[in-house]
C-alpha cells in the first residue's frame, strides 16, 4: 500500500476570498500620519498606492473577494501542495508528523507572486503605468516583474546594493521579465543621494531601497509603489496559503499542534498562520504559532514595539510594530529576505497578544537544517525558508524527547535555486555565523520618530 505523502486540491478549490486577521484580532495596531499624528486615512495612502489597495490596507472586513482574473492566474500554481515529510520524520526518528506547505512552485519560486498579481491587477485597473519597488535578495523584485509582464505594467526595482552584486541571477530574471533593476542607494532619489554622500559604496538596506521607491511614487502621479511584505494588504493576499492548508489538513484528517514560519516582514508567516489563528480566535482549535527570525536581524526578539517608519526615507506612515530602528543597516546575511528592520504590524499585534511565539535562529544551524531537508525531501530550500525548517525540526526533536507525537506544519516559502553560492559556503564549512550588532540597533533606536513625538508613545 502507498503511504499518502501529498494533499492536493483542485483548481476550483483555490480560495474565492482573502482572509483578514484584522477582523478577529482583539486589538488592531494603529497607523499614524507622521505629519499630524492622526490615524491614517485612505487619502493619506493615495500618493503611493491605488484606492483598492489603500482600502484593503485599512480594511477590517473578515473576507475580501478575490477578482476572477486574479484567481484565474493563481490557478497556474495554486492550490499549492501540502506534503507530509515522511522521509524527514524517519531521518529524525521522531514520533511527530511533519507537513510542509510548498510555495516554491510559483513562477518566481516563492510565495511572493500571491500578492504581486493582485497588486499589479488593481494598479492596472486604476490607470497606473509604472510600479516601483525595493528588493533584497531579489525574490520580491522578480515576482513583481513577473506580474508586470502579465499585465503590461512597467516595473522598476531598487535592489539592495550588496545583493545586486552578490546575486546577479535574480537581477537577470527581473530583466528577462522586462523590468529595470537599479542598485540602491542610487543617484535617482534624495534618499539615495544622502546615503551615497555618507558612504560611497554604501551596501544598502531594504529600508533605504523602500525609501527610494516610495519617494519616486510620491513625486509621480502615474507611478505607484508596490510593497512585498509588512503591509496589511500583502498579508491579506497571502492568506490563500493558510486557507488552502486548513482544507488540506482536513484531507489528511489531521490538525497542526504547531505551525512554524520564517519571518522577515511577516508575509509568508501571516499568510500561512492567520487563517489558523482566526479559527482559534473564533472559538476553534488552539494552535501554537512559531515565528523563526534570523539572529542577525532579530526584530521580534530584540526589537522595540514602537511607532516607526517602514522605510529609511521617512515616506511611509508610522506603523506600530517591532522595529530595530529604520536607520539600522542589518549585517549582510544569506537570507536577504529576512533582512528588514521592522515587522508586519499585524504580526507584531499577534505577538503582543501572545498568539505567536518568536525565536531567533543562527544562519549556520539553519543551513544545516536546509541541507538535511534537501537530502531527505529533495527540495533545496531558500535560505529564508531554512529558518522555518530549523524551527520545525526543533519541534520534532522536542516531541521525540517527550516520547509523544505532535503534528507540525511549516511554511516552505520558496526554493533556493538562485542561492547555491550560499550552499557552496555552507558545504565548504566557510559560512560565517551571524553577528548581532547591538550597538547599531541601540543607535538606530535612539532615532525613532516616535521618540520625537512623545504623545504618540502612550497610544
Ligand atoms: C521574501 C521571502 C521571505 C521573507 O519575507 P516574509 O514577508 O517575511 O515572508 C521568506 N521566504 C522567501 C522564500 C522569500 O522570498
CA 458 to ligand 1 center in whole angstroms: 32
Cα 49 to averaged position of ligand 1 atoms, centre (Å)? 21
CA distances from 315 to 144, 213, 319, 440 (A): 21, 10, 12, 22
In this prediction, what percent of the chain has a pLDDT beyond 90? 86
More confident residue, 100 or 329: 100
Q: Is residue 440 part of a domain?
A: yes
Residue with cell 509603489: 225
Question: Does residue 188 belong to any structural domain of this protein?
Answer: no
CA distance 202 to 185: 7
Q: Is 106 in the pocket of ligand 1 (CB under 6 A)?
A: no
222-239 pLDDT per residue, tens: 999 999 999 999 999 999
- Across the range 149-157, mean pLDDT stands at 98
Q: How far is the CA of 403 from the centre of ligand 1 (A)?
A: 33
Q: Whose CA is nearest to atom 5 of ligand 1?
A: 264
For residue 46, the model assigns a pLDDT of 97
Beta carbons within 8 Å of 64's beta carbon, 6+ residues apart: 17, 18, 20, 56, 236
CA distance 277 to 296: 28
When pLDDT is averaged across residues 343-357 and rounded to a whole number, the result is 97
Q: Which structural domain, as residue segments, surrounds residue 256?
A: 5-12+68-109+232-445
Q: Residue 154 — φ and ψ, nearest 5°?
A: -65, 140
The whole-angstrom separation of Cα 83 and Cα 89 is: 12
Lowest-pLDDT choice from 196-205, 264-273, 297-306:
196-205
Mean pLDDT of the chain: 94
208 found inside a domain: no
Q: Is residue 273 part of a domain?
A: yes
Let me know if residue 459 belongs to a domain.
no
- Indicate if the pLDDT at residue 350 is higher than 80: yes
Ligand 1 within 6 A of CB of 266:
yes
pLDDT at residue 457 greater than cutoff 50: no
Does 305 map to a domain?
yes
User: What would the DSSP string read from start to end of 367-403?
Assistant: HHHHHHHHHHHS--B-TTHHHHHHHHHHHHHHHHHHT
pLDDT at 2 over 80: yes
> For residue 454, what pLDDT band results from cuts at 50, 70 and 90?
very low
Domain membership of residue 390 (yes or no) is yes
- The answer, yes or no, to whether any atom of ligand 1 lies below 6 A from the CB of 109, is no
Q: Domain holding 438: CATH number?
A: 3.40.50.1100
User: Closest Cα to atom 1, ligand 1: which residue?
Assistant: 337
Give me the pLDDT at residue 450, please: 60
In a domain, 370, yes or no: yes
The structural domain count of the chain equals 1
DSSP letter string over 39-108? BP-HHHHTTTS-HHHHHHHH---SEEEPPHHHHHHHTTT-SPPEEE-HHHHHHHT-SSEEEEEE-TTSTT
* Cβ–ligand 1 contact at 385 (below 6 Å): yes
Nearest to 414 by CA among 169, 104, 144: 104
Q: Is the CB of 382 under 6 A from ligand 1?
A: yes
CB contact at 8 A, 139 and 112: yes
Calculate how far, in angstroms, residue 264's C-alpha sits from the geometric centre of ligand 1: 6
Amino acid at each position: 500500500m502507498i503511504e499518502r505523502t501529498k494533499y492536493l486540491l483542485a483548481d476550483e478549490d483555490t480560495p474565492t476570498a482573502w482572509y483578514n486577521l484584522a477582523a478577529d484580532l482583539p486589538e488592531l495596531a494603529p497607523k499614524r500620519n507622521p505629519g499630524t499624528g492622526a490615524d491614517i486615512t485612505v487619502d493619506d495612502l493615495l500618493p503611493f498606492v491605488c484606492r483598492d489597495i489603500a482600502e484593503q490596507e485599512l480594511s477590517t472586513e473578515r473576507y475580501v473577494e478575490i477578482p476572477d482574473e486574479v484567481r484565474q492566474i493563481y490557478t497556474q500554481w495554486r492550490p499549492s501542495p501540502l506534503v507530509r515529510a515522511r522521509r524527514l520524520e524517519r531521518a529524525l526518528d521522531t514520533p511527530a508528523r511533519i507537513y510542509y506547505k510548498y510555495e516554491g512552485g510559483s513562477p518566481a519560486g516563492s510565495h511572493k507572486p500571491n500578492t504581486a498579481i493582485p497588486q499589479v491587477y488593481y494598479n492596472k485597473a486604476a490607470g497606473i503605468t509604472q510600479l516601483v519597488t525595493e528588493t533584497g535578495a531579489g525574490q520580491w523584485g522578480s515576482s513583481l516583474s513577473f506580474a508586470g509582464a502579465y499585465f503590461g505594467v512597467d516595473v522598476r526595482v531598487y535592489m539592495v546594493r550588496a545583493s545586486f552584486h552578490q546575486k546577479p541571477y535574480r537581477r537577470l530574471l527581473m530583466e528577462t521579465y522586462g523590468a529595470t533593476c537599479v542598485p540602491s542607494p542610487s543617484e535617482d532619489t534624495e534618499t539615495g543621494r544622502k546615503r551615497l554622500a555618507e558612504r560611497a559604496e554604501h551596501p544598502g538596506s531594504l529600508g533605504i531601497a523602500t525609501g527610494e521607491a516610495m519617494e519616486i511614487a510620491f513625486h509621480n502621479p502615474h507611478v505607484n509603489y508596490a510593497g512585498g511584505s509588512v503591509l496589511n494588504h500583502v498579508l491579506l493576499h497571502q492568506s490563500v496559503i493558510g486557507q488552502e492548508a486548513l482544507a488540506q489538513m482536513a484531507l489528511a484528517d489531521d490538525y497542526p499542534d504547531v505551525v512554524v514560519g520564517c519571518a522577515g516582514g511577516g508575509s509568508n508567516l501571516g499568510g500561512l498562520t492567520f487563517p489558523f489563528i482566526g479559527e482559534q480566535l473564533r472559538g476553534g482549535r488552539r494552535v501554537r504559532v512559531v515565528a523563526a527570525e534570523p539572529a542577525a536581524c532579530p526584530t521580534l526578539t530584540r526589537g522595540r514595539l514602537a511607532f516607526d517608519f517602514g522605510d529609511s526615507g521617512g515616506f511611509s506612515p508610522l506603523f506600530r510594530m517591532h522595529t530595530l530602528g529604520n536607520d539600522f543597516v542589518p549585517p549582510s546575511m544569506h537570507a536577504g529576505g529576512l533582512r528588514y528592520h521592522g515587522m508586519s504590524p499585524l504580526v507584531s499585534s499577534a505577538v503582543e497578544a501572545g498568539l505567536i511565539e518568536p525565536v531567533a535562529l543562527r544562519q549556520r544551524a539553519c543551513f544545516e537544517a536546509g541541507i538535511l531537508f534537501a537530502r531527505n525531501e529533495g527540495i533545496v530550500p531558500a535560505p529564508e525558508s531554512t529558518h522555518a525548517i530549523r524551527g520545525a525540526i526543533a519541534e520534532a526533536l522536542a516531541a521525540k524527547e517527550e516520547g509523544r507525537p505532535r503534528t507540525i506544519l511549516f511554511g516552505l516559502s520558496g526554493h533556493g535555486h538562485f542561492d547555491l553560492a550560499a550552499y557552496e559556503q555552507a558545504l565548504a564549512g566557510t559560512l560565517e555565523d551571524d553577528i548581532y550588532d547591538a550597538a547599531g540597533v541601540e543607535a538606530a533606536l535612539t532615532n525613532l520618530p516616535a521618540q520625537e513625538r512623545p504623545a504618540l508613545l502612550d497610544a
